A and B are shown apart, each in its own frame.
Chain A
Amino acid sequence: QKEVEQNSGPLSVPEGAIASLNCTYSDRGSQSFFWYRQYSGKSPELIMSIYSNGDKEDGRFTAQLNKASQYVSLLIRDSQPSDSATYLCAVKLWDSNSGYALNFGKGTSLLVTP
């Protein structure tokens, strides 16, 4: 079983601070990495994807990938109360059971306090 690990949290940060969310994965053959945000009672929505080592920035969000260390992280700058949600890390890889489906971590709950 390919593992994607996240700290369940909750991670609490004050408004305006940087929130740092981390994810590790077990399969070195993993090819693509995604961060989804999920509000309570809603379905996951894609916020970032990253495929190569380094940083990728999109507005207040930065995804960081280190394939050698097998971790991917998400930084949220100037955190807002509306960022309070569960953040799911997902890894795409091929295996004989799941094909090219995404393998998800269990998510980290983020709480941004005013």
Chain B
Amino acid sequence: DVKVTQSSRYLVKRTGEKVFLECVQDMDHENMFWYRQDPGLGLRLIYFSYDVKMKEKGDIPEGYSVSREKKERFSLILESASTNQTSMYLCASSFPRTVGTGNTIYFGEGSWLTVV
């Protein structure tokens, strides 16, 4: 079974703090993604990565950055947390990086972040 692990499930941070959300997948997937999910807004893509040290902006990258130093690990960084970044953050992975069928995206369990 595919396993996508988000190490921090529940976090409370103060405005202005730097926040790291870590994600590890164990299936040698090339693609990794960070989404956030908010009531009424659905899932929105923040950043994604197709390879080590590679990153691409999604739909809402402002206020976030990412790091992918190893294939299995994709980190989301909030440089200076703000209250409007209170949300559930979902990491996901998939394989391979080509168009076509079968490359389903698998999600981690989610990280609930509250910024006060």
Interface residues of A (CB under 8 A from B): 1, 31-32, 34, 42-46, 49, 51, 88, 90, 92, 94, 97-107
Q: Given A43-B108, A45-B107, A32 and B101 touching (CB < 8 A)?
A: yes
Residues of A with C-beta under 8 A to B101? 31-32, 49, 51
Check B41–A100 contact: CB distance below 8 A.
no
**Top 4 A-B pairs, shortest CB-CB distance:** A106-B42, A104-B43, A43-B107, A51-B101
Check B99–A100 contact: CB distance below 8 A.
yes
Check A99–B56 contact: CB distance below 8 A.
yes
Check A97–B43 contact: CB distance below 8 A.
no
Q: Given A43-B90, A106-B40, A100 and B107 touching (CB < 8 A)?
A: no
Q: Given A98-B48, A100-B97, A106-B41, A49 and B107 touching (CB < 8 A)?
A: no
> Which interface class (under 10, 10 to 19, 20 to 34, 35 or more) fits B?
20 to 34
Is B57 among interface residues, defined by CB-CB distance under 8 A?
yes
A57 to B83, CA, bound (A): 44
Residues of B with C-beta under 8 A to A45? 107
Q: Residue on B with the closest CB to A92?
A: B103
Q: Given A34-B104, A88-B43, A106-B40, A101 and B58 touching (CB < 8 A)?
A: yes
A107 to B37, CA, bound (A): 11
Is B33 among interface residues, defined by CB-CB distance under 8 A?
yes
Is B27 among interface residues, defined by CB-CB distance under 8 A?
no
Check A49–B43 contact: CB distance below 8 A.
no
Given contacts A31-B99, A98-B48, 9 further A-B pairs with CB under 8 A are A44-B90, A49-B102, A97-B57, A100-B97, A101-B31, A101-B105, A102-B105, A104-B43, A105-B42
Check B99–A43 contact: CB distance below 8 A.
no
B85-108 contact mask (Cβ, 8 Å, vs A): 1 or 0: 000001000100111111111111
Q: Residue on A with the closest CB to B50?
A: A99
Query: B59, B101, B105, B107: which has the most chain A beta carbons within 10 Å?
Result: B105
Check B42–A104 contact: CB distance below 8 A.
yes
Q: Residue on A with the closest CB to B96?
A: A100
